[in-house]
């Protein structure tokens, strides 16, 4: 193959290693959102600590990137208990409304960590993360924004030249940055 074809393959592989889908309710005024609750995340990965790690990074980066007040996880846990929410990783619309009344938050964020950790293909290994996040308003409990992203994975350069991909922390931060960028 000539150099042009190699460059095209590398560009396509790098584009496929980052994929983000977004839904945004056109009737929602995101400018009025001041206080946010980030619920515990669902963990579908094999890493038992993935949901907690991703939630911590998400909260920290959300605080750093915006002027939102994010309730601390301890306050969220206390509010979940007060509201009697049975499944905090998948609250109902009524649960979200109750939580909003208790916390005085404008929105509640829920989500799922689909993949988190090392993947293998042949002799190549790399880290991958796949996350889906939703935001619901506390007045009605309806979802007003959602996004999902996947970062990392085994690319063509990993297959051709080896290497272990990027560190898990780096791709986690990039994936969360993708989501926060889509929110604002």
pLDDT tens digits for range 113-128: 999 988 877 777 788 8
CATH number at residue 135: 3.40.50.10610
Rounded-to-integer distance, Cα 120 and Cα 127, Å: 9
pLDDT at residue 66, as a whole number: 81
| pLDDT-wise least confident of 42-46, 104-108, 120-124, 129-133 | 120-124
pLDDT at residue 18, as a whole number: 54
Q: Please say whether the dihedral angle defined by the alpha carbons of residues 42, 108, 71 and 104, taken in this order, is positive or negative.
A: negative
pLDDT at residue 159, as a whole number: 61
Total number of domains in the chain: 1
Rounded-to-integer distance, Cα 174 and Cα 40, Å: 20
Rounded-to-integer distance, Cα 13 and Cα 114, Å: 21
CA-based nearest residue to 23, from 115, 132, 118, 131:
132
| pLDDT-wise least confident of 16-20, 34-38, 87-91 | 16-20
Work out the pLDDT band at 14, boundaries 50, 70, 90. very low
pLDDT at residue 157, as a whole number: 64
Give the residue-averaged pLDDT of 80-100: 95
Rounded-to-integer distance, Cα 170 and Cα 183, Å: 20
Give the residue-averaged pLDDT of 74-82: 96
CA-based nearest residue to 146, from 182, 94, 95:
182
Rounded-to-integer distance, Cα 41 and Cα 91, Å: 11
From the number of C-beta atoms within 10 Å of its C-beta (0-12, 13-18, 19+), residue 4 rates as exposed
Rounded-to-integer distance, Cα 136 and Cα 53, Å: 22
Which tokens belong to 40?
Answer: 């515990």
The DSSP element (H or E) to which 45 belongs, if any, is none
Rounded-to-integer distance, Cα 177 and Cα 182, Å: 9
Residue 19 has pLDDT above 60, yes or no: no
The DSSP element (H or E) to which 21 belongs, if any, is strand 18-24
Structural domain boundaries enclosing 33? 3-183
**pTM for the full model?**
0.83
| pLDDT-wise least confident of 25-29, 79-83, 102-106, 162-166 | 162-166
| pLDDT-wise least confident of 20-24, 27-31, 69-73, 85-89 | 20-24
């Amino acid at each position: 193959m000539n150099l042009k074809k190699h460059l095209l393959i590398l560009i396509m592989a790098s584009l496929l290693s980052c994929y983000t889908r977004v839904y945004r309710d056109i009737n929602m005024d995101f400018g009025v959102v001041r206080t946010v609750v980030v619920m515990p995340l669902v963990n579908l990965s094999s890493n038992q600590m993935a949901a907690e790690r991703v939630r911590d990074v998400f909260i920290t980066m959300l605080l750093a990137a915006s002027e939102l007040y994010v309730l601390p996880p301890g306050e969220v846990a206390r509010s979940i208990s007060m509201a009697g929410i049975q499944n905090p990783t998948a609250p109902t619309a009524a649960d979200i409304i109750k939580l909003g009344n208790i916390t005085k938050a404008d929105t509640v964020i829920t989500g799922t960590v689909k993949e988190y950790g090392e993947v293998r293909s042949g002799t190549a290994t790399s880290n991958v993360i796949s996350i889906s996040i939703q935001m619901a308003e506390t007045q009605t409990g309806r979802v007003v924004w959602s996004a999902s992203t996947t970062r990392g994975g085994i690319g063509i350069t990993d297959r051709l030249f080896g290497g272990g991909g990027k560190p898990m922390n780096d791709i986690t931060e990039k994936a969360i940055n993708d989501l926060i960028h889509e929110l604002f």
